[in-house]
Amino acid sequence: MAKIVWIDGNITPLEEAFVPVTDHAYLYGDGIFEGIRFYNGKVFKLDEHLARLYEGINYLDYHMEYSQEELKKIILETCAASGEKDGYIRVNVTRGTGLGLDPKHINLKPRVMVFVTTISLYPPELYAKGLDVITTSYRVIPSDSLNPRLKCIGRYAANILAKMEANRAGAGEGLMLNQVGNLAECTGDNIFIIKNNEIYTPHPSSGILQGITRDTVIMLAKELGYKVHETTLSKYDMVTADECFLTGTAAEVIAVATLDYRKVGAGPDGKITKEILKAFREHTKIGTPIPYSGDGLLSA
């Protein structure tokens, strides 16, 4: 697909898009982002992603110049300009431009970017066989250092290191514990386990990003009649689970086959995992329509 970028008011091909070297996200990781999917011409959970983005913008005290509705329109226009029906949207907002940590010495006009492309976190065969997961040596950042609900660009350095550790071990994902050794999340996914036909997932206070896909799965599981518990969980709970799966915008819902080379429950054959994956994929048909015109551009 054509990869296009809306940045500071202009839509350009990816190859022509650029940011100044003094952008605060480039210099210090001082930016926030969302990853959003669109399916069959509809953007999935757009309002929920934007609500989380603007909560983070307010928390980080960025001087955002676009309202939530204005940015929503920009995202839909950019998707329409791509002419694609399915894809991935990356939205970045940075604090501004200038050298130095102290925001009072920089230009505080935020840089806003909307990038439309494709993404596939795991190859199709892994959905059939399930993921091998290892416990990494990297812990999630404590909430008293940086609130885990923020999708802050800088916080992902730890996740990248954890992912690299998993890659070296030949694993599909890396499990990150919190500071007291309980389950938090994987490098890019939330964790769910199933025991005795009830579903458990780490509570937000465990140090997790409260994922949009995670919240969607909780809603769908309850609609299917399952009890869902947000609670403190350990590796013991994961290893002894009947089923285990991960969720994320890119990954959607994917089963865990092993943890630290030990089989986890039913792996990809788990009945409830399959049921939730089916319900989730059906739910992705619901979304905010992209108003295409005949040439792929947004109608006036």
Q: Is residue 71 part of a domain?
A: yes
Instruction: Identify which of 27, 45, 25 has the alpha carbon closest to the alpha carbon of residue 36.
Output: 45
Q: Are residues 153 and 53 in the same domain?
A: no
Task: Find out whether 255 and 244 touch, Cβ atoms under 8 Å.
Answer: yes
* 66 and 85, same domain (yes or no): yes
CATH of the domain at 243: 3.20.10.10
d(CA 218, CA 220): 6
What tens digit of pLDDT does each residue of 183-241 get?
999 999 999 999 999 999 999 999 999 999 999 999 999 999 999 999 999 999 999 99
Q: Domain ends where: 87, 119, 151?
A: 119
Q: Are 247 and 213 in contact (CB under 8 A)?
A: yes
Residues 276-291: pLDDT tens digits? Answer: 999 999 999 999 999 9
Higher pLDDT, 243 or 124: 243
Quick check: is 294 in a domain? no
User: Is pLDDT of 6 > 80?
Assistant: yes
Does 134 lie in the same domain as 90? no
59 shares a domain with 152 = no
**Better pLDDT: 123 or 252:** 252
Domain-located, residue 295: no
Percent of the chain with pLDDT over 90: 88
Q: What is the rounded distance in angstroms from the CA atom of residue 19 to the CA atom of residue 12?
A: 13
- Based on the domain organization, do 151 and 209 belong to the same domain? yes
Instruction: Give the span between the Cα atoms of 208 and 182, in whole angstroms.
Output: 11
Q: Which of 99, 119, 139 is the last residue of a domain?
A: 119
The answer to whether position 291 is within a domain reads no
**CATH no. for residue 103?**
3.30.470.10
How many domains are contained in the chain? 2
For residues 50 and 158, membership in a common domain is answered with no
Crossing angle of helices 46-60 and 68-82, in 10° steps, is 130
Q: Tell me: the pLDDT tens digits for 51-81? A: 999 999 999 999 999 999 999 999 999 999 9
Q: For tokens 């709970």, what's the residue?
A: 237
Residue 107 tokens read as 């230009």
Q: Is the pLDDT of residue 296 over 60?
A: no
Q: Are residues 54 and 105 in the same domain?
A: yes
Tell me, yes or no, whether 76 and 221 share the same domain. no
pLDDT of 299 > 70? The answer is no
Shared domain check, 255 and 223 = yes
Are 82 and 179 in a shared domain?
no
Name the percent of the chain lying above pLDDT 70.
97
State residue 205's pLDDT score.
Answer: 92
- Judge if 39 and 88 occupy the same domain: yes
Residue that finishes a domain, picked among 119, 148, 179: 119
Q: What range does the domain containing 19 cover? A: 4-119
In this structure, of 1-5, 22-26, 150-154, 175-179, the range with the lowest mean pLDDT score is 1-5
In contact, 151 and 174? CB cutoff 8 Å: no
Lowest mean pLDDT among 140-149, 231-240, 244-253, 277-286: 140-149
Residue 166 lies in a domain: yes
Residues 174 and 299 sit within 8 Å (Cβ to Cβ): no
First to last CA, the chain: 24
Answer whether residue 296 is part of any domain: no
What is the mean pLDDT of the segment spanning 173-183? 97
Q: What's the pTM? A: 0.92
Q: What is the DSSP letter of 273?
A: H
When pLDDT is averaged across residues 231-252 and rounded to a whole number, the result is 96
Residues 90 and 161 in one domain: no
Give mean pLDDT, residues 236-254.
96
